[in-house]
Copies of this chain bind each other. A is one copy, B any other.
Amino acid sequence: MPKPSKREDLLVSAMETFHARGFHGTGIKEIADAAGAPKGSFYNHFSSKEECAIEALRLFGAERRLDMLADTTSPPLERIRRHFEFLRDETVDRDFTRGCMFGNFATGVVDHSEEIRSAVADSLQTWSGALAVALTEARRDGAVRADLDPDSTARFLVNTWEGTLIEARATKSAAAFDTFFSMVFEVVLR
């Protein structure tokens, strides 16, 4: 039976490579090389590149720090702001490259793989679900407009974030993030 740690190594390498080079730009050999594993060993752990990409997408999702949204030691609106600041800082630190794997797969892969399409939809749903919980709390506290539907608003914020990454990557500028924060926190939610 293969060692679990080698699977972990391959998965982390897959996430990094898919994130940096996209699904179509990533080969199994590159993933194996980056993990210091022989190419043939890949199939001891994953049945296909698609399956590996879906696992990598889940690992990427786990690093989105949705736990920040559920940390009730700070007010819900503050948590939402910090969550997006965390995501912004990650992109700025990467010099506006890579973006979000959900958006990358949604624009580059979903038309051609039903399995990946479904995994991207689940990832977006999990994310907007966590945001909706915090927005429901914020509405209860009177911190956001009472007429906002938390579920729709959460999906709207996720989508707006994904599009903000598109502008930030195309312009290599944080101006897109500044607009996101001012429009979301001073217009949409107020």
What residues on B are CB-neighbors of A99 within 8 Å?
Answer: 106-107
Chain A interface residue count: which class?
35 or more
B187 touches A167 (CB 8 A): no
Question: Which of A44-52, A62-70, A79-87, A158-166 lies at the interface with chain B?
Answer: A158-166
Number of copies: 2
**Also in contact, A106 and B170, with CB within 8 A (given A111-B97, A179-B155):** yes
Of the candidates B148, B163, B182, the one whose C-beta lies within 8 Å of that of A187 is B148
Q: Does A3 contact B (CB under 8 A)?
A: no
Which residues of chain A (124-170) have a CB below 8 Å from chain B? 124, 145, 148, 152-153, 155-156, 158-167, 169-170
Which residues of A pack against B, CB within 8 Å? 20, 22, 24-25, 97-99, 102-104, 106-108, 110-111, 117, 120-121, 124, 145, 148, 152-153, 155-156, 158-167, 169-172, 176, 179-180, 182-183, 187-188
